[in-house]
Structure formats: C-alpha cells, structure tokens
C-alpha cells in the first residue's frame, strides 16, 4: 500500500515537489478529452517540462486497442524505465494508465491524479490496474502501486451531478462494510455535503486499512467487493446495450440493493437494516429499468467474476451494517431472484 497519498487543496503543490525532486528522466501526462479541457489547465503550472498523451474518454475505450495507442506514443517519446506517467482523470485513466505503465519495458513509474469522486475514493487507491476485454470489466490487469496519489477535491467542481452520485456509491459501500456510525450519520444528511474533503479522507482511510491488511486480495480485501458481483454483471450487460449504459457507481448501487437483499435471504442481515439501506439508496439513486428478458443474461455474466472459485460464485454480503463477510457462495438463481426483488422496489 502506497504511503504517499496527498489529499486537500494543496495536493497539486505536492506533485510539483515530487516530480522536481526525483530524478525522473521524462514526465508524461495521460489525459482524455474531458480532463485535457477541464483539469489539465489547473495541473500544468505544477509540472516540470512534460509531454501529453491524449486518448478518447469513456469506459468503451478502456481496451487493448487504446493501450496500443498509449504504448506507441510512449515509444515515440523514447521513454526509458526512469520515466514517470502522470494519470490525470477518472477511473478509466487511472486503471488503464497504471496498467500501461506497469508493463511498458517491464514497468515505469506512475502517479495518480484522480479527478472524479469515484477515482478519488476507490480506483486511485489499492494498486489495482487493468482494462476491459471483450466487454468483461477489468478482465486483464496487474497489481502495481503508484509512486504517489494526489487527490484535490476542487476537481469535483468540474463534474456533473451524475458523476458525483456515481462516486458517492463507493463511499456508501465503505460505510456499509466498515463504519455503521458513519452510515447512520450520513444517511440523515444525504448527498448534499459541503465537506467533500472530510468524506474523501474517511473513505480513503477505510480502503487503505483494508488494502494494507491484504494487498493482493487473498482474503479480507474481498470485503471491498460488496455490491460488485451483481453490480459488475449489470454494468457489463448494459454497457453492451446502446443508450442503457450506466456509470460504475450507478451499477454498484443496484448491486448493493441486490446483495443486501441476499444478505437477508442468507440470514446474515436483519430486515430492519435492509430497510435502512434501501431507504438511503432510493433517496440518492434513480431506479434502473431491468426487464425480465435482461435478468438471466445479467446473471450469466456473474460466472465471469474474478472472485469466483471454479464454478462457485463468491459474493461479499453484509452480516450487519458496518460488517461484511466475504466468500459467500451464491447461485445464478440467487442473482436472478435479487434482480427480480430490485425490479419490484
């Protein structure tokens, strides 16, 4: 777990200090269309001499084909193993940029500058990198820690509300798996907080503690997957349905509904706690339309989940609000039942 996580309005000054004090041979910044326009102008004054690599924005471009473009540009720039890649963007940029840096010439340095709430509280912390493959999310990747992470909450001012809600889902997840008191407090406040820095710090702290205890997801780290078995399947399926695509956090919110329901079915979570979770999630997220024709296809995608063992679908469920249990075996029928329950909400 990287110890170098800088959070706050002075985070970009810290990146200036790191890049100037370390003997990196070259500095390259990876951006997409959005971060080039809205975030790079704020960052560039804190950078030494550098080059840009620009890619299209969006999850649909998180592919090997885009990696080839990045590697080709790295090659044209004559990067050696002492170069550093600065990943400026959301989860797609962080995941893909980290992956490209980790395998280029067997690994060059990289730092993360997450610009979305989702990336700040989740994707930028923990050393997971990767890309989608044939529509399967994060199917190819490696574990590799960045040199440092620089989280500036003022970047959130560039985001539409939908993107903020998407990131907020991962914050809710962190409360549900590790901090019942924070969940209880925040559900009375809702999404409209003025102190994002405090929420980000707390969420990063929860994730950092989990990752430090289990860096390579051999066991305990799997608690971070609450909402993701069903959520990833929903996200993957709707990604292939033009006009129905969801942001990651929107899909994870669906997954948290379903997996909280399964937690009650497996006699782990109380019905009263399920009601509290549902009431909070309903107050933030619009219901996603999932028809009967979709349900079986979504469930089948869960067979590709990276947490599975042989043919067993392993899921993280809630024993109570604030305590998760991992490696809970569920069936395709369980997933279908949970999606039908979500349908009827």
Known catalytic residues are 106, 128, 170, 207, 217, 221, 225, 228, 232, 248
CB atoms within 10 A of CB 9: 10
Residue 256 near residue 321 (C-beta atoms within 8 A): no
Residue 21 near residue 78 (C-beta atoms within 8 A): no
Distance, CA of 201 to CA of 199 (rounded, Å): 6
Phi first, then psi, for residue 24 (nearest 5°) are -70, 135
If residue 109 lies in a helix (H) or strand (E), which one and from where to where?
Answer: strand 109-114
Pairing of strands 27-32, 84-89: parallel
Residue 83: which of 49, 41, 127 has the closest Cα? 49
CA atoms within 13 A on the CB side of 245: 11
Residue 171 near residue 121 (C-beta atoms within 8 A): yes
Distance, CA of 345 to CA of 343 (rounded, Å): 6
Cα-Cα end-to-end distance for the chain? 39
Distance, CA of 60 to CA of 7 (rounded, Å): 29
Quote the crossing angle between the two packed helices 292-301 and 228-239, to the nearest 10°: 110
Between the CA of residue 34 and those of 30, 56, 67, 131, 155, what are the distances in Å? Answer: 12, 9, 18, 19, 12
């Amino acid at each position: 777990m990287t110890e170098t996580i800088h959070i706050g309005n002075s985070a970009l000054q810290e990146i200036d200090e790191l890049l100037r004090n370390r003997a990196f041979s070259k500095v390259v910044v990876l951006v997409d269309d959005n971060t080039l326009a809205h975030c790079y102008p704020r960052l560039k004054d804190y950078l030494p001499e550098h080059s840009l690599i620009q890619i299209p924005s969006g999850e649909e471009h998180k592919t090997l084909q885009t990696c080839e473009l990045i590697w080709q540009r790295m090659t044209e720039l004559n990067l050696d193993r002492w170069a550093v890649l600065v990943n400026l963007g959301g989860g797609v940029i962080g995941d893909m940029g980290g992956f490209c840096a980790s395998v280029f010439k067997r690994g060059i340095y990289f730092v993360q500058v997450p610009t979305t709430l989702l990336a700040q509280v989740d994707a930028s912390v923990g050393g997971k990198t990767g890309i989608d493959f044939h529509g399967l999310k994060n199917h190819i990747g490696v574990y590799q820690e960045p040199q440092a992470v620089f989280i500036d909450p003022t970047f959130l001012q560039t985001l539409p509300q939908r993107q903020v809600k998407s990131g907020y889902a991962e914050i809710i997840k962190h409360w549900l798996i590790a901090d019942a008191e924070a969940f209880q407090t925040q559900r009375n406040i809702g999404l409209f907080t003025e102190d994002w820095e405090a929420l980000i710090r707390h969420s990063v702290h929860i994730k950092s503690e989990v990752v430090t205890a289990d860096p390579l997801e051999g066991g305990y780290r799997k608690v971070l997957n609450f909402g993701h078995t069903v959520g990833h399947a929903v996200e993957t399926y709707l990604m292939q349905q033009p006009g129905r695509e969801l942001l990651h956090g929107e899909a994870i919110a669906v997954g948290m509904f379903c997996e909280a329901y399964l937690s009650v079915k497996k006699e782990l979570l109380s019905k009263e706690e399920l009601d509290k979770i549902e009431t909070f999630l309903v107050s933030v997220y619009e219901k996603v339309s999932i028809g009967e024709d979709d349900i079986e296809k979504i469930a089948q995608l869960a067979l590709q989940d990276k947490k599975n063992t042989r043919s067993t679908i392993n899921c993280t469920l809630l024993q109570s609000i604030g305590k998760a249990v991992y490696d809970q075996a569920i069936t395709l029928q369980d997933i279908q039942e949970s999606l039908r329950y979500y349908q009827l909400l």
